[in-house]
A = this chain, B = another copy of it.
Amino acid sequence: MRLEDVVIAGVGSTPFGRAPDATLKTLGAAAVAAALDDSGFGAPDVDVAVVGNAVGGSIMGQEMITGQVILGDIGITEIPVLNVENACATASSALHLAIQAVAAGSADVALALGVEKLTHPDKSVPLLAIGRAVDVAETYGDGGPSAAARSYFMDLYAGLALRYAERTGATDEDFARVAVKNNSHGRLNPLAQYGSELTVEEVLDSRMVVEPLRLLMCSPISDGAAAAIVTRRDRAPDVTGTVDVLASVIGSRSSAPDEATALARTARRAYETSGVGPEDLNLVEVHDAAAPAELIAYEDLGLCASGEGPLLLRSGQTALGGRLPVNASGGLTAKGHPIGATGLGQVYEVVQQLRDRAGSGRQIPGARLALTENAGGWVGDDNAAIAIHILGRTT
């Protein structure tokens, strides 16, 4: 699609974290209001809305028309509202469709919202819900997800971590270092759920979830919402605040285990589409639902050669102050992971960085080009969905 004239004009995000009294409506409304305010547009300017939510059915009973329920309450009515879902890649799928609506000429001003209320008085409820981001019948049989499903995704990430360690020599200390780095970033992010100056030893001393994953290597259960306003460059009220969309690419699972992963393939397409290469990037947000996934992403995104993820991490280049900060926001590990909002949370971070508005000691000087990688669900031997956006300030 033709992206030349498509820009992000504004972004908004709630804090990510445990918000027991929040609802899909309060979270969604806050993110939309912030994004509109940031963009210079008002609610009446929005002419299409794409709303992402993953497990509102399981958690809140709101299985359908979540977008209309949230937006009607804040006076956004009459316009087309599309509800979209792609497991943990839901929010960036919503952004992709908002971008497509502008590119197709369906809309001048498109709202993308990702929202998730994940915390629940019964802690097993969100874990069971997340565990459904798979082929449910194949994974659990007729009985459906059960208590056995509770650590499904951490089991999965643990398996990936073990295979990655075997292939690259990555150690438990390396996995801990990802968490240390991202928590030190999260400490500087007022929207992050967690953040502190941890040591590798503290991470390795935290509770074992599934070998080799320790509690502090795993993204938490979070509530939150994030939104973006997409428009054509010539419609943006404040041109100085716009960010260019250079690529918006969605991919899905590979056909066979020996193929390139969805992540690697989708990254390749995003680079081809944008003409931007990994060497051009100034910052990256990756989907570290568990810390080892960040190292795998380094390689699949081409930030380093195959097998050199641990080296890149240890070099300090992916920490704030380094050549290519990864997860300056704190990442999913520290910033939090309200699954249907996460992708737009990543976009919120890079848009603020590209506009030189990240503040809080997190600003990456002179950041011009950024990539976000958002992964969702698991089918066969691969992510069900990968969404990659490359955004920039090129003017």
Contact = CB atoms under 8 A, between A and B. Distances in A.
Nearest to A23: B137
A92 to B, nearest CB: 11
Contact of A72 (B65, B140, B265, B379): B379
Interface in A88-118: 93, 96-97, 100-101, 103-106
Given A62-B137, A63-B129, A68 B384 contact: yes
Most B CB contacts (10 A, CB to CB) among A69, A71, A75, A96 go to A69
A79 B82 CA distance: 20
Interface stretch (A29-37, A191-199, A247-255, A289-297): A247-255
Contacts of A87: 64-65
Nearest to A73: B135
Given A79-B251, A84-B83, A97-B82, A64 B2 contact: no
A33 to B, nearest CB: 17
A380 interface: yes
A61 B137 CA distance: 8
Contacts of A385: 65, 68, 81
Q: How large is the interface on A (under 10, 10 to 19, 20 to 34, 35 or more residues)?
A: 35 or more
Contacts of A69: 135-136, 379, 384
Interface stretch (A50-58, A209-217, A311-319): A50-58
A85 B100 contact: no
Contacts of A83: 84-86, 93
Given A1-B105, A137-B25, A132 B64 contact: yes
Contacts of A140: 61
Contact of A100 (B55, B58, B62, B100): B100
A255 B71 CA distance: 11
B377 A80 contact: no
Contacts of A352: none
List the 10 shortest-distance A-B pairs measured between CB atoms, nearest first.
A80-B250, A104-B104, A65-B377, A68-B384, A61-B144, A1-B104, A57-B57, A65-B384, A77-B255, A1-B106
